[in-house]
Structure 1
């Protein structure tokens, strides 16, 4: 993994963390930020799925 990819993952993770539990669309913010970072196609989808999976698992763990 190169530095640019790590930076993209970090930015997307921060955006997800800040917007996931607010009453606004975290997915919409992810799409906008991915577009700004020129991250598109299957790669952007994979990032979004993995990042959102972390938030989903945190909620499942909390309410188990």
Structure 2
């Protein structure tokens, strides 16, 4: 249960830092140092990618018309 609460906190920090002009990845690393999750290294690597996937997809969606080369 505590790991679920930690992952919610990680999500909140990720969401807030995506709106600020600071490194969200850096904040994830700092938060891991302060409050480590009890997970394997491979899970942690996957978790960092998945938690940032929403922000990456939002940027692609927002700028789709500018980056898609085959406009009508």
Say if 2:1 is the partner of 1:35.
no
* 2:4 aligned to which of 3, 6, 10: 6
Structure 2: runs of 5+ lacking an equivalent: 65-72
Distance 1:16 1:7, change over 3 A: same
* 1:22 aligned to which of 17, 20, 23: 20
**SS of 1:8's equivalent?**
helix
Structure 1: runs of 5+ lacking an equivalent: none
Q: CA RMSD in A?
A: 1.6
- Deviation >2 Å, runs of 4+: 39-44
TM-score normalised to structure 1 length:
0.78
Determine which structure has more spread, i.e. the larger CA radius of gyration. 2
